[in-house]
Chains A and B, each alone.
Chain A
Amino acid sequence: MNQIMLNVEHLCKVYPNGVQALDDVSFSISEGEFLVIVGLSGSGKSTLLRCINRLVEPTSGRIEWYGADILSFQAAELGLIRRQIGMIFQQFNLVKRSSVMTNVLAGRLGYVPPWVSLLGLWPKVERARALRALERLGLADKARSRADALSGGQQQRVGIARALMQEPKLILADEPVASLDPVLAHSILGHLEQLNREEHITILCSLHFLDLVHRYASRVIALKDGRLMFDGPAQDIDRARFKEIYGEEAVDVHATRVDA
C-alpha cells in the first residue's frame, strides 16, 4: 500500500458572492496515483484543485500534506509546500511575451533566492535543468521563441516543463486538454502518464471526456454541484454513472482517438 500523500477532509468553499463551490468534500490521494476528477463545468473541479495549493482559500475543512495541515501555513511555509506541487492549466497560463526559457525557469522560483531571480541571474545549473525539461517534452529548439509563437499543444508542453522544474511530488492539472484539438489530448496526457510511471509523480487531473478518463485514470472522483458523487476505480464509471454525474441530457462525446 502506497503512502497517503494528500488527505482532504470536509472541504467547503463559499465564494464572497454566495456561490457554494465545494460542499463537504473528503477524499485522499496516495503516492503514484493518476486520479481524475470529472464533473460539469461549475461543479467545483477547478476550485478543488486550487484549494489544494491554496490559490483559493477554503472556507472550512482540512487539507493534510503528508500529515501537515496546509491551511495553517503562513506565506513562507506555504511557498515550501507549493513548490512541491506543480500545476498546469486549461489556458496554459504562460507569460505570452516572455521566452519559453523564461517561462520554464519561472517554475524554479520556489527554489532560488529572490535576489537571483529578480535580477534574472539564473545559474547555469538551472538553465541546464530547464533545457533538459524542454528536451524531455520535445521542445529544446523552441527555448528562445516567444511563448505566444508556439501552438496550443506546444504551449501546454511548456506548461508541463515549467511544472517539472519544481521537481514536484504532485501535479495538479486543471482541464489540461480542454483548450486543445482532441487529437492533441493524447499527446499531453501521454506525457503526464509517462511522468506518473517513470518519475512516480502523482497526478490529480480534471477531465471532460469519458474515453480519456477510462484510458488514463487509475482512480476517479466525481463532483456535482460541489458535492462528491463518486470515488472509485475508472472502470466503475459506466454510462449510467456518467449520466448521473452529468445529467440526463449529457451525451458521451469521445475525444478523437489517434489509434482509432
Chain B
Amino acid sequence: MSIVRGFSAMRRPSFSVFLSTLIPGLGQFYIGQRARGVGILLTVLVAGLLVAWYGVWLWTVAPLVVWLWGIWDTTGEAPRSIFVPSAAILIMSYGIGWRVAKINFFALTQNLDRAAVVLGPMLRPDLVGARVERQRAFVTIEVPCSENPPSGQRTDAGLALGASAGCGQVGDEINVLGSGFWPNTESELWWEDAIGEKQHLLENGRIIVVETDAEGSFSKAIVIPQMRSGTGQEANLDQPLPERFAVIQERPIGGFEITKNGMRVLSGILETLSLALVATTLSLFGALPLGFLAARNLMDRSAASLAIYYGVRTVLSYLRSIEPIIMAIVFVVIVGLGPFAGMLAIMLHSVAALGKLYSEGIESIDPGPIEAVQATGAGWSEVVRYGVIPQAIPSFIAYTLYRWDINVRSSIIIGFVGGGGIGAWLFQWIILADYRAVGASFIAIVFVVMVLDYGSARLRERIV
C-alpha cells in the first residue's frame, strides 16, 4: 500500500511540469498519456525543423506555443483542449504554404492586357466560319543577287505580279505591283524561302494587309525578310537562292463552313472519345478477374488465397497511385507518340482503379446468398457465378460507366504529353498562341463532358 501511495505521490504535477519543460511531451508520457506525449514531441520537432528550413524566425512562436501549452496541459486534472496548439500550427502551416506557393494575387490584376490577348480570341472560337474562296499568285525573287537574276515579273491565270527588282539582299526595299486581282479585297502578302517555309510580311512588326483598288490592282513597298536562320552549314547566307513573294486573297462566297481547325477539333474529340471507350473496354479484361481476387469476402478461405488477395491489392494500389499522364509519358517512350500510347496508359490505370472498385462492389454484397450457394455443395467458381456475380452486376455497370466518364476527361489531358486526341491539338494551339482554336476545343470539351455527365448519371440511375 505504501509503495502505491509513494508512487502516486511521485506523480505530482510539478514533476510532470518539470519533465515537459525539459523535453516537450515528456510530462504527458510520464503521466501515462503516451500517444499525446509523442504527438507533442513530434509536433514541436517537425514545426521547429520547418521554421529552421525556411528561416523565418517569427514562426518559432508556433512550436514554442505548443511546447508551453504542453507544460500547462500536464497541470490539469483532465487533458486540455488542443484548440490553441492546433491553431498555432495551422497558422504556421498557412504562412509557410503562402510562401511556398508564391501567392501573388496582384499578378492577376497587373496583367489584364495579357489576359485580353488570351481571352479575346477565345471568345471568337475557330469552329465555324464564312465559306470563302482563295486565289494565290507569286513571283520569284533571288536572295541575294547572282550574276543572272530572274526578271521579277510573272503572270499566271490573269494575275500579274511585278517587282522593281528580280533579286536583292535581306533588308533591301523593293516595290511590288499587282494587277488582275479581285477588286476591293484585302490581300495577304507572304514571303517564301527556297524550301517552302513562309511567313507574313511585316511592317513595323505588324502583318501587312493591302486592299486592292476598284480595278484589282495594288502597289506596296516591302522589305526582304531574313528567312534562313544563319546557323548550321546549310544556311549559307551568301548563296543566291530563289525565294518568292506571294499574294493570297480570300473572299466570302456565302454560307458557312466548319473551319480547318474546327474539323481538327471534331476529329480530335472523336479520337478522344473512342480512345477512352477502347481503353475502358479493354481494361475490363484485367479489372474483372483482379476485382474478384481483391475481394476479401471471396479470398479469406485459406492462407494461400489471402496471400493472393494481399498481393493483388498491393499491385492495384501501386498502379492506381500513378496518374495516367505519367504512365502516358512512359508509354510514349515505348510505343511512340499517338493515341496508342494514351490508350495504354488509360487502360492500365483503369485496370487498377476498376479492379479496386469492383472488389468493393463484391465486398458490399449480401453474404447470405453466398452462404446458401456454398451449402448446396457448389465449388468456388460456381459460388462466384451464382452467388456473387448476379449481386455485383449493377455496381459493376455503374462503376464502369463512371470510369468511362473519367477516362474521357483524362484522355483529353493525355494528349498534352503526346497521347493523341484533342489534347494533342490543344497543346499545339496553346504553344502557337492560337487562342481561337483553343476556344473551339474548349467548346467541344465542355459539350462532350456535359453530355457524358448527364448521360452516364441517367444510365446509372436506371440500372442501379
* Interface set of A (CB-CB < 8 Å, partner B): 53, 55, 75, 78-87, 89, 91-98, 102, 106-111, 114, 117-118, 159, 162, 165-166, 172
Contacts and interface: CB of A to CB of B under 8 A. Distances in A.
A109 B376 contact: yes
Contacts of A89: 368, 371-372
B391 interface: yes
Contacts of A166: 376-377
Interface of B: 366, 368-369, 371-379, 381-382, 385-387, 390-391, 393-394
Nearest to A92: B368
B382 A93 contact: no
Q: Is chain B's interface secondary structure helix, strand, loop, or mixed overall?
A: helix
Given A94-B369, A95-B386, A114-B381, A82 B375 contact: yes
Contacts of B386: 95, 98, 102, 106, 109, 117
Nearest to A50: B371
B375 A53 contact: yes
The 6 A-B residue pairs with the shortest CB-CB distance, nearest first, are: A110-B377, A83-B377, A109-B378, A93-B368, A82-B377, A93-B372
Contact of A95 (B379, B381, B387): B387
Contact of B369 (A84, A95, A110, A172): A95
B375 A87 contact: yes
Contacts of A96: 366, 369, 391
Nearest to A75: B379
A106 B377 contact: no
A53 B375 CA distance: 7
B49 to A, nearest CB: 42
A104 to B, nearest CB: 11
Contact of B385 (A78, A82, A117): A117
Given A93-B369, A98-B390, A82 B376 contact: yes
Nearest to A85: B375
Contact of B382 (A85, A92, A117): A117
Contacts of B374: 55, 82
A165 B371 CA distance: 16
B305 to A, nearest CB: 12
Nearest to B384: A118
A114 B386 CA distance: 11
Nearest to A49: B375
A56 B373 CA distance: 14
Nearest to B394: A97
8 contacts: A79-B377, A79-B378, A84-B377, A86-B375, A89-B372, A95-B390, A108-B376, A109-B377
B301 to A, nearest CB: 9
Nearest to B374: A55
A111 to B, nearest CB: 8
A162 B382 CA distance: 15
A96 B372 CA distance: 13
A102 B390 CA distance: 10
Given A89-B368, A91-B368, A93-B371, A118 B385 contact: yes
B371 A55 contact: yes
